[in-house]
Amino acid sequence: MATDIEISAMRRALDAARATARTLPNPRVGCVLLSPDGKELAIGAHRGAGTPHAEVDALEQAGEAARGATAVVTLEPCNHTGTTGPCTKALIDAGVARVVFAQIDPNRTASGGTKTLKAAGIDVESGPLAAEATDLNEEWTFAMTAGRPFVTWKYAATLDGLSAAPDGTSKWITSEEARRDVQVFRAEADAIVAGTGAVLADDPRLTVRDAKDLPLPFDRQPLRVVVGETKIPNYYRVFDRVAPTLLIQSRDPEVVMQKLVENNIRHIWLEGGPRLAGAFWNAGVIDRIIGYIAPAMLGSGRAALEGEATTLADLRPITIDDLTMVGPDIRMIGTPGRMQREDFD
């Protein structure tokens, strides 16, 4: 059973992981090394693909003092060689005596660390603060277990549910404060996805703006993904040099997802327009909704979502996880559910 000192160290490891910039397609991981008498030797964190994993970061800081130490890690140490070597080997070579980790690694490629560590004579314990560690990497964990990226759909609408006027204009429905708030969420994804219709109508950059104002460090733009068969002229801003752009000539969510899996994308930020969002909604692959609702009415125009509902029995409930005022607008964060037709009988 983990000691109070180890649980306290796990909280510090979680804090270290939370303080890092986006690490996708890898998870955020923190590690605290404790001496045999419980004193902190080092705190490590993973900072993105190609950089040392949290355990190695902490071991390098501790040096020879790591021999006989306890490694407290937010995720089960990896057991495979990718762009870096396996953390299990690094821990064994350093002479660590005990490993306490929170979340079991759901990545089949990297799992098996516990067995390897135990075979080397290291005492291993799992589970302390596992729920917090899993929440820290919600989107990554989902992608590892579901075999597809986690999808966050963002939309902006008036109180009557419209995202564009009858003439197609949509800039700007919500406030400047809401648009700044969006950047914080965009920065957490590793791909920003929009349909060709929305790109042609608005000529968006599909990038994270005002990075210096973000609450966490930001070091690279998400991949821009434009979905659809309509050709986009090469002078549009999605083709500038600010970020890479991937064109997918299909609106089929299954095809889109497969292409993104091939590009190691774990979390996509879906921005529309309504037809593309509707395709994802109909396919049941929207996992989180972030809606910004402006205190205004249009009366007519385009709905935020173009789905295939034909009767009230097609209604799908949303679990509201958060409601916050952002400037004059309401930000709603919700999780889609499913409604069975017999519930309306």
Asked if 73 and 179 sit in the same domain, the reply is no
Question: Domain containing 40 — which CATH number?
Answer: 3.40.140.10
- Residue 142 in any domain: the answer is no
Which of 116, 136, 156 delimits the end of a domain?
136
Q: 218 and 123 in one domain? A: no
State the pLDDT at residue 233. Answer: 94
Lowest mean pLDDT among 11-25, 156-170, 226-240, 245-259: 156-170
Residue 132 designated active-site: no
Domain presence at residue 226: yes
Q: Which of 112, 136, 160 is the last residue of a domain?
A: 136
The tokens of 188 are what? 């957490």
Q: Is the pLDDT of residue 340 over 60?
A: no
Instruction: Looking at the structure, tell me whether residues 168 and 210 fall in a common domain.
Output: yes
Residues 241 and 295 in one domain: yes
At 126, phi and psi to the nearest 5?
-120, 155
40 found inside a domain: yes
Q: Which two tokens stand for residue 343?
A: 């519930």
β-bridge mates for residue 151, sequence order: 268
Contact present, 341 and 313 (Cβ < 8 Å): yes
Mean pLDDT value across residues 60-84: 92
In a domain, 225, yes or no: yes
Q: Tell me if 143 is assigned to some domain.
A: no
Assess whether 203 and 305 both reside in one domain.
yes
Q: Is the pLDDT of residue 144 over 80?
A: yes
- Encoded tokens for 80: 């495979």
Average pLDDT of the segment spanning 268-297: 93
What percentage of the chain has pLDDT greater than the value 70? 97
How does 21-41 read in b/e, with b if 16+ C-beta sit within 10 Å?
ebbbbbbbbbbbbbeeeeebb
Q: Please check whether residue 155 lies inside any domain of the structure.
A: yes
Q: Which of 6, 55, 76, 139 is catalytic?
A: 55
- Strand bridging mode 191-195 / 267-272: parallel
| pLDDT for 238 beyond 90 | yes
Instruction: Print the domain residue range for 261.
Output: 148-344
In the chain, the number of structural domains is 2
On whether the CB atoms of residues 75 and 27 are closer than 8 A, the answer is: yes
DSSP-assigned states of every residue in 65-129: GGTT-EEEEEEPPP-S-SSS--HHHHHHHHT--EEEEEEPP--TTT--HHHHHHHTT-EEEE-TT
**Claim to verify: residue 102 and residue 161 sit in the same structural domain:** no
Domain boundary at 105, 136, 167, which? 136
* Listed range (70-84, 94-108, 122-136) with the worst mean pLDDT: 70-84
State whether 299 and 213 are in the same domain.
yes
Give tens-digit pLDDT for 176-196. Answer: 999 999 999 999 999 999 999
User: What local confidence, expressed as pLDDT, does residue 302 receive?
Assistant: 87
Q: Given pLDDT bands bounded at 50, 70 and 90, which one contains residue 253?
A: very high
As a whole number, mean pLDDT of residues 103-111 equals 84
Residues 180 and 108 in one domain: no
**Within this chain, do residues 192 and 322 fall inside the same structural domain, yes or no?**
yes
Is pLDDT at 343 greater than 60 in this prediction? no
What pLDDT, in 10s, does the model give residues 197-207?
889 988 999 99
**Are 130 and 156 within one domain?**
no
Same domain, 298 and 275: yes
pTM value > 0.95: no
> Domain for residue 141, yes or no?
no
pLDDT, tens only, 217-226: 787 899 999 9
* Mean pLDDT taken over the chain: 91
* CATH number, position 327: 3.40.430.10
Residues 74 and 203 in one domain: no
